[in-house]
Chain A
């Protein structure tokens, strides 16, 4: 029985909890991609780098706050700086829309041209972030590290395995939940949210109803950029901030949006968790887990090494495209 509990705790510690946090981060990112797709009707390749930009602004403000000794210990200072980062990302996204995407939208350009422009934007954001903060790893997390440390847990339960709950993980889950709840309230209940859904559903009829498309688009960017920043900062707090990592997050984020059904906010969330849990369970080494059940495996019993985690998102993506292109929640087919 103890062995069984130990195995469960081990699994929770290395698979379930990290998967939950990662899934929440992906979900926030995928929500942005899916909203932009629903309203502007193109896959925004610049989203990962928008996350990086928002996170970067937050980090710079965090450093400044730390240097003047302002903090909200035991919570990380970054939470205090987050609104500034969101504002920065929103400003950047709105400027980009004004200078790049609006032109193509007004001409009713083919979506692929918009995708291509977004690739150009992606590289510009990327250059900007590297220019300002450099391409290297940055640490900015402060405050308490653990909510429950391994030793506390072991003392509490008397088990051999410890369940660690790091503070960034808990913050991720709480913030993601609050943000998603607020977003759904906005989309389902508010006038503007309904207008956004109407515009996403039927652009021409929305125009006939007097919905101002520019306003809808602007609100969409505000939400997408805010979500991107939140996702980027949470990811950075949980792991670390490195511009290239955010570019690479693009693939799992797209996978999450498509798995859930593109244009469907609820799908983006489900998709985020599907992708995250698949990634973590497939790249986890089950050796010790199995040992608690009396097996003596020779190797690590790892299905795929961690370097192939993109492959997991990709395979999920491929399976969805082959089996059900509309995704779990019957979104659009891109």
Chain B
């Protein structure tokens, strides 16, 4: 049984179903990546696992506990961290305050966690007193990931973390994500930059029209000629 698992997920945002019996799972310390064409339901699948839309069928389990009925807020408390694609930092607040807000639900001392985040993203320590709105795109993404890490989650979900950043910044961000995974956190992310993302992925899911088309290790998917031809641009 996988650590976080969405089984046969079917549902949408109230109207027609977007997901049709979609299966996603990820293990601790692993990176799972969801790729696929536009409108395939990549983000929707991840949001479903985070409880941001109601499932008509299927279920979500975390560490063998059924969490299908929990609200996103409750899932945060249960150990899930989510980094939205847009508006993922408090722009008027300083970097440090952003991290504090990430730890809002914690009543214990989170100073050590903050130090860990600063170790992971040294540039944030430097800019801890600056409003997050004044940072560059890549730095903002670091703040966003750092904010989500403040709850010490067991699963971290990232919705297109590299959208709109330069290739160099993207590589660096992926390096950091690998480091995070190495600490034993399960990482699930949705990516447009399929090739680079599958490069670091332990497991990849290719979604088409809300269903799984290919599921394999990242390496195998990159090697699969059909996947290459259809989804990776040859």
Contact = CB atoms under 8 A, between A and B. Distances in A.
Interface string A195-207: 1011011101111
Interface in B43-95: 72-73, 76-77, 82, 84, 87-93
Interface in A181-225: 191, 194-195, 197-198, 200-202, 204-211
Contacts of A206: 90, 101
Contacts of B72: 207-208
Contact of B90 (A191, A205, A207, A210): A205
Determine which residue in A202, A204, A207, A208 has the highest number of CB atoms from chain B within 10 A of its CB, and name it. A208
Contacts of A207: 72-73
Given A194-B100, A197-B93, A201-B93, A210 B76 contact: yes
A205 B101 CA distance: 9
In the A-B complex, the 8 residue pairs with the closest CB atoms: A210-B105, A201-B90, A198-B101, A201-B92, A209-B104, A209-B101, A198-B90, A210-B104
A249 B187 CA distance: 55
A265 B99 CA distance: 23
B101 A194 contact: yes
Contacts of B147: 205, 209
B73 to A, nearest CB: 6
A198 B89 CA distance: 9
Interface residues of B, number: 21
Given A194-B97, A194-B101, A207-B73, 5 more contacts: A194-B100, A198-B93, A207-B72, A209-B102, A210-B151
22 contacts: A195-B101, A197-B93, A198-B90, A198-B97, A198-B101, A198-B104, A201-B90, A201-B92, A202-B89, A202-B91, A205-B90, A205-B147, A206-B90, A206-B101, A207-B72, A208-B73, A208-B84, A209-B102, A210-B73, A210-B77, A210-B105, A211-B101
Nearest to B72: A208
A201 B77 CA distance: 22
Contacts of A201: 90-93
A202 B100 CA distance: 15
B92 A197 contact: yes
Output the residue of B72, B73, B77, B104 with the most chain A CB within 10 A.
B104
A333 B31 CA distance: 42
Interface of A: 191, 194-195, 197-198, 200-202, 204-211
Residue picked from A191, A194, A201, most chain B C-beta under 10 Å: A201
Contacts of B73: 207-208, 210
Contacts of A210: 73, 76-77, 104-105, 151
A307 to B, nearest CB: 40
A198 B92 CA distance: 8
B68 to A, nearest CB: 19
A57 to B, nearest CB: 35
Contact of A209 (B87, B91, B92, B105): B105
B185 to A, nearest CB: 17
Contacts of B102: 209
A18 to B, nearest CB: 35
Nearest to A264: B92
A194 B82 contact: no
B82 to A, nearest CB: 6
Nearest to A200: B92
Contacts of B87: 202, 204-205
Nearest to A212: B73
Nearest to A206: B101
A191 B107 CA distance: 11
B143 to A, nearest CB: 11
A184 to B, nearest CB: 15
Nearest to B87: A202
A205 B84 contact: yes
Nearest to A197: B93
Interface string B149-191: 0010000000000000000000000000000000000000000
Interface in B99-157: 100-102, 104-105, 147, 151
Centre residue among B77, B91, B100 by max chain A CB count within 10 A: B100
Contacts of A211: 101, 104
Contacts of B104: 191, 195, 198, 209-211
B67 to A, nearest CB: 16
Contact of A202 (B77, B90, B151): B90
Contact of B88 (A195, A200, A205): A205
A141 B133 CA distance: 48
A212 B82 CA distance: 17
A206 B73 CA distance: 10
Contacts of A197: 90, 92-93, 97
A201 B147 CA distance: 15
A199 to B, nearest CB: 9
Nearest to A263: B92
A207 B104 CA distance: 10
B89 A205 contact: yes
Nearest to B77: A210
Contacts of A202: 87, 89-91
B186 to A, nearest CB: 18
B16 to A, nearest CB: 22
